[in-house]
Amino acid sequence: METVRARFGEFPWMAVLVVVALAAFTRSATLIVLSATGLAAWALVEVTGRLALVALEVEATLEPRRLVAGEIATLTVRVTNRKPVPVPWMDLRIELPEGIAPPRREPGMPVSSVGASFAPRARERLVLRFPLEIAQRGAYVVGPMKVRAGDWLGFVQEERPLPLALEIVAHPAPAGVVDRHLASLRPVAESAMRRGLVPDPLRFRGVRQYRGGDPVKEIHWKTSARLGELQTKVYEPATSLDAVFLVNVASYDQYWVQVDPDGAELVIAASAELVRLAGEAGRQVGLITNGLDNLTHERPRSALSRGPRALTRCLDILARLGPYAGAAPETVFLKERGRLPSGATLIAVTPNLPPRLVAALVVLRRSGHRVLAITKDMPEPGVSSHARAADVSVVVLDAAIRARPGGPGEGKAWRRAS
């Protein structure tokens, strides 16, 4: 435990000293007994008050550390009194950030903290559990924690802060209704067959053992002669199942201005749902955004990867995003062009589709990528025509995406831009 402490209250030692002086001067038996009692009480208060938080261990854990907005996490606090002296009373209080609160609060209980009062016996271990509801997506830090205890007679209280910073990430809640078969999410050469990707003969990747039905012209004769068995050439595909999400949280050309937080939330919720769909389909997923992390205030990104870890990384980024952008979306997306894998599908999710952003998406389309733009607001006719002429698919995001899962079918959450 920390040595920093705060002490409240005071024993009336001046009154005891006065009684002791009167007893010594008058030799009164009553005053002598009263002064002896006062001195004993003073000693008891000093000793038990200073020992109240000695040899007292407090540990806190929070599970799960990642969840979906609307779910319940459990804060577990373990208190161990290792001394052979009981603590007559103890109060424990843990601060909660805005956005986290107990699911059920008694009247008069503070919203910004949880805690309990109890009396640990000698060498006793207690376990306290506090359910916490995270209503909105985001990254939160639970803590710090304060413990308070006092002497046996209740004159003095001692309070100590304990270092506690438990981080928890709430992923965006799943969208209610989404068209899972949106054609624009599929690369040009993808088909129902797993081998439906077109290989690029200019992108040699290596060799593999010859299989029946392989073309003779694709046999690598030098390697076959060296290994003593036929080897077939392997190429990188011209198109791939890679899905890179370009998330824009800026609602205006002046990216540093944000007066539409609802639009940013809608974009983040839609992006999270699409990332989940891509991860469930076994694709490699990556994420690029112009948004800033709410805690570190840095612009995060996720490299292209496959598996649960990659999916969790992308959802963590979306959960931690604030409503403000660090740069214009077209600047960020074009700057990342050299790091994008050839043939990857790019899904740009944005509150609106201004001409500059469309121009950037057209450049990415001409670089050999399949590009899909998903926007909250219907783009202007000229912008839609420009995108359609460059083979950039545009889909308008309907407000039904915000419906909670399990609700009635309000209709598809996407509609093709005309």
Q: Does residue 188 carry a pLDDT above 80?
A: no
Per-residue confidence at 9, pLDDT binned at 50, 70, 90?
A: confident
Q: Does residue 120 carry a pLDDT above 90?
A: yes
- Tell me what the mean pLDDT of segment 241-263 comes to: 84
Judged by phi (left if over 0) then psi (alpha if -120 to 50, else beta), residue 204 lies in beta
Q: Does residue 399 carry a pLDDT above 60?
A: no
Find tokens 């435990």 and name the residue: 1
- Tell me what the mean pLDDT of segment 201-226 comes to: 83
- Tell me what the mean pLDDT of segment 338-367 comes to: 91
Per-residue confidence at 184, pLDDT binned at 50, 70, 90?
A: very low
Q: Does residue 18 carry a pLDDT above 80?
A: yes
pLDDT digits (tens, 9 = 90+) for 262-321: 888 889 998 998 999 888 888 889 999 999 998 888 999 999 888 899 999 999 999 999
Per-residue confidence at 194, pLDDT binned at 50, 70, 90?
A: very low
Q: Does residue 180 carry a pLDDT above 50?
A: no
Task: Give the separation between CA 76 and CA 353, rounded to whole angstroms.
Answer: 46
Q: Does residue 190 carry a pLDDT above 70?
A: no
Per-residue confidence at 191, pLDDT binned at 50, 70, 90?
A: very low
- Tell me what the mean pLDDT of segment 209-221 comes to: 87
pLDDT of residue 218: 87
CA distances from 30 to 11, 18, 33, 39, 212 (A): 21, 14, 5, 14, 112
With a CB cutoff of 8 Å and minimum separation 6, the contacts of 195 are: none
Is beta strand 231-237 parallel, antiparallel or unpaired with respect to 199-209?
antiparallel
Environment class of residue 407 by beta-carbon count within 10 Å: exposed (0-12), middle (13-18) or buried (19+)?
exposed
pLDDT of residue 199: 62
pLDDT of residue 178: 42
DSSP H/E element including 348 = strand 345-350
Q: Does residue 408 carry a pLDDT above 80?
A: no
What token pair was written down for 106?
């008694």
pLDDT of residue 405: 40
pLDDT of residue 114: 92
What token pair was written down for 416?
């093709």
Cis bond before residue 261 (omega within 30° of 0): no
pLDDT digits (tens, 9 = 90+) for 54-105: 999 999 999 999 999 999 999 999 999 999 999 989 999 999 998 899 987 7
Q: Does residue 176 carry a pLDDT above 60?
A: no
DSSP H/E element including 189 = none
pLDDT of residue 200: 57
**CA geometry: angle 338, 340, 343, nearest 5 deg:** 120
What's the mean per-residue pLDDT of the chain? 83
Q: Does residue 361 carry a pLDDT above 70?
A: yes
